Amino acid sequence: MQDFLRRAWAEIHLDRLGHNINEIAKLVNTDKTQLAGVVKANAYGHDDRNIVPFLEQHGFSFFAVSNIREAEKLRRFGCKGEILILGYTPPEYADELSENDIIQAVVSEEHAAALSENASRPLKVHIAIDTGMGRIGLLADDISSCADAFCRISKLNNIIADGAFTHYAVADSYDPDCKAYTDSQTEKFFTLRDELKKRAVAPRHFHCLNSAGGTFHYDERSTIARFGIMLYGLKPDRSLDMPFDMRPVMDLKASVSYVKKLPAGSFVSYGRTYRAEKDILAATIPIGYADGLSRQLSGKADIIINGRRAPIIGRICMDQLMADVTGIPDVKAGTEALIFGEEQTADDLAELCNTIGYEIVCGISKRIPRVIINNGEILDVVEYY
């Protein structure tokens, strides 16, 4: 077994990822729609260097990232699949993109023109279409004008208009108005596709599906389904009933460093926000907000020790937190504590601090080693420091 610092660590369970992949594949017609793995932000904090090869082993050949440095990192560790940058890259990197066979999102017609001016060789692009997200892309409210701009981009020197994509704003909601809004986004997008076909412009890819879109609004006209958060076993929105039992891929754990008896009336941590109403047994666990555990969870969340819930007491510190382990047997220095995972998910913690599971897992800092596990066997330990 590979050793690692058992202060605080994140276990990345590839067998759970495999389960999620198999379930996701049932949601789409893979003869029509190619599955793409969204691996930006270090695979949502799960370690892209290990996640991407596993996805490739399971048939993924298309990946999405947020920026050129993430894309180049994938190439450096041997990713052979297609890589799409979903966000902006400055035009002066046009040749760097083409040299590494990276597909660039075009965020505007001006962006496309600048990429063309800087490109000395052909560069593949996917043109972003704004159907209602209001973030990047050609505005699709006027289909004819949007198609005009698309055609102008497709004729630019050294620009290969390989695809077009849009992004849903509220596909993760059951609200009827939100469903209607998503439907309107889809209609705009494929009306544009049909208009381009009339003009003999037919990009290889036209894709609109994110995790929520692929799950609740699947449309086989989308040539790609970009699955992100659901690969990692979390919900696009924590209120959703999912069509399969997702398995959280990350377990965040830490070892108890100290256990002590505190008499009634004792205060715990900064600001004296917690005062023991009776004699308690308190455990100190060496993980805190510098590790990515939100300070907003102070006094709200539990951790799990020896199969029992232990409430966090007092404020979470930069490097430590305290929990009330009164009545939990066999808690001592070295006892393992689960912060989140299968028994208590990142989505559960997100609800307590009014955020989303994405932020919880993406926020786990690089001083937390990622311990890569498959069916109980440690395959790798990734130390970022």
> Which tens digits make up the pLDDT trace of 85-97?
999 999 999 999 9
Higher pLDDT, 5 or 49: 49
| Residue 238: pLDDT over 90 | no
Residue 72 CA to residue 52 CA, distance in Å, equals 13
Identify the helix (H) or strand (E) that includes residue 67: none
| Nearest alpha carbon to residue 183 among 132, 242, 241, 129 | 132
**Percent of the chain predicted with pLDDT > 90:** 97
φ, ψ at 200 (rounded to 5°): 65, 30
Where do the structural domains in the chain lie, given as residue ranges? 32-231, 250-382
Instruction: Report long-range pairs for 342-347 (Cβ below 8 Å, ≥24 apart).
Output: 342/16, 342/247, 342/248, 342/251, 343/304, 344/302, 344/304, 345/233, 345/234, 345/248, 346/234, 346/248, 346/250, 347/234, 347/235, 347/238
CATH class of 250-382: mainly beta
Determine which one of 40, 124, 188, 253 is catalytic.
Answer: 40
- The answer to whether 121 touches 170, Cβ cutoff 8 Å, is no
> How is domain 32-231 classified at the architecture level of CATH?
Alpha-Beta Barrel (3.20)
**Strand partners for 65:** 85
Question: Side-chain half-sphere of 344: how many Cα atoms within 13 Å?
Answer: 21
Indicate if 40 belongs to the active site. yes
Average pLDDT over residues 160-165: 98
Indicate if 26 belongs to the active site. no
pTM: 0.95
pLDDT, tens digit, 9 for 90 and up, residues 57-73: 999 999 999 999 999 99
Average pLDDT over residues 301-324: 98
Determine which one of 174, 258, 270, 384 is catalytic.
Answer: 270
